A = this chain, B = another copy of it.
Amino acid sequence: MSGVELVIAIDLGGTKLAAAVVDSGGRVLARNKRASARGGVGESAKQIAEAAGVALRDSGVEEIRGVGVIVPGIYRAETGMAWAPNLWGHEEVLLRDELERRLEWPVVIESDRAGYVTGERWLGAARGLDDVVFLAVGTGIGAGIVSGGKLIGGSGGVAGAAGWFALNRERRDIYAQIGCWEAEAAGPALARRSGYASGELAIEAARAGNAEALRAIGETACYMGMGIANIVSLLNPQMVVLGGGLMQAADLFLEPIRRAMLEWAQPVAARQVRIEKTELGEDAGLLGAARLALDNI
């Protein structure tokens, strides 16, 4: 009647699964959240179908166009295979087949980073922009890239693995496991530098004025700014949106990050770009999944 379209959005994370019914105006009509199922892709698909069913029932909606699902890793549309080591180990799994078996609606699948950047472009900090990078900085680092209005997936769906940026000529052993940038700028790096047990505790200590914690935040922000500078020089985006756990302390990080970025990046691109905190926070992925379903089903 009204021209409003409805979809189910699923943000399948490494620890939590969120489901929602979302309309084409970006309104969330119902949502639910639970711990992600363990036990393989079949279990995950079953749980997604359950969560989708609950959200649909709670919303009172009768008809939806389809389901958008984002996964914490890589998805390859050509094969329907997903790779998400935190959920399914190091082998690729046939996620699309499993979801099509369990769900009665068409499904669109993407990586979580594609979801984040899509959500922020739709309803968040990057509304209406065509050249945007979403950078998730938490226990790891990953980037969702939109250039010229198009998602950049790379030839094998791996694009955005910015945590592997080489930023330090002196190589440390940990770089081989998680990548140099992630080793120097994600949450565990902040913990290591500050002497606290976690990034969160280091941030608390910094807010209380602890000098070691403040110094560690400064050094971590320098590395963040170097990596962001590399993205800015290579892709010349209008905006880099910062999200992920560590960016809950964006007030501490944003200014030193901006300074470091301006120091390192190509000057014209550095002046053109804005670096902003996520506006959607934890909902970026869920709303991005909804948008991906609206656009592609």
Q: What is A's interface to B at a CB cutoff of 8 Å?
A: 74, 130-131, 143, 145, 147-148, 150, 152-171, 175-176, 179-180, 222-223, 226-227, 229-231, 233-238, 263-266, 268-269, 272
Distance to closest chain B CB from A169 (angstroms): 5
Distance to closest chain B CB from A86 (angstroms): 15
10 residue pairs, one from A and one from B, having the closest CB atoms: A154-B236, A161-B266, A164-B233, A166-B226, A131-B155, A166-B264, A164-B266, A158-B236, A159-B236, A155-B238
Q: What chain B residues lie within 8 Å of A159 (beta carbons)?
A: 147, 234-236, 269
Copies of this chain held together in the complex: 2
A169-B166 in contact (CB<8A): no
Q: What chain B residues lie within 8 Å of A166 (beta carbons)?
A: 167, 226-227, 229-230, 264-265
B272-A161 in contact (CB<8A): no
A155-B130 in contact (CB<8A): yes
A153-B148 in contact (CB<8A): yes
Q: What chain B residues lie within 8 Å of A238 (beta carbons)?
A: 155
Distance to closest chain B CB from A103 (angstroms): 27
A152-B147 in contact (CB<8A): yes
Whether A161 contacts B236 in the complex (CB less than 8 A), given A166-B226, A168-B169, comes out as yes
Residue in chain B with minimal CB distance to A130: B155
A169-B226 in contact (CB<8A): yes
Whether A154 contacts B179 in the complex (CB less than 8 A), given A164-B264, A234-B143, comes out as no
Distance to closest chain B CB from A297 (angstroms): 20
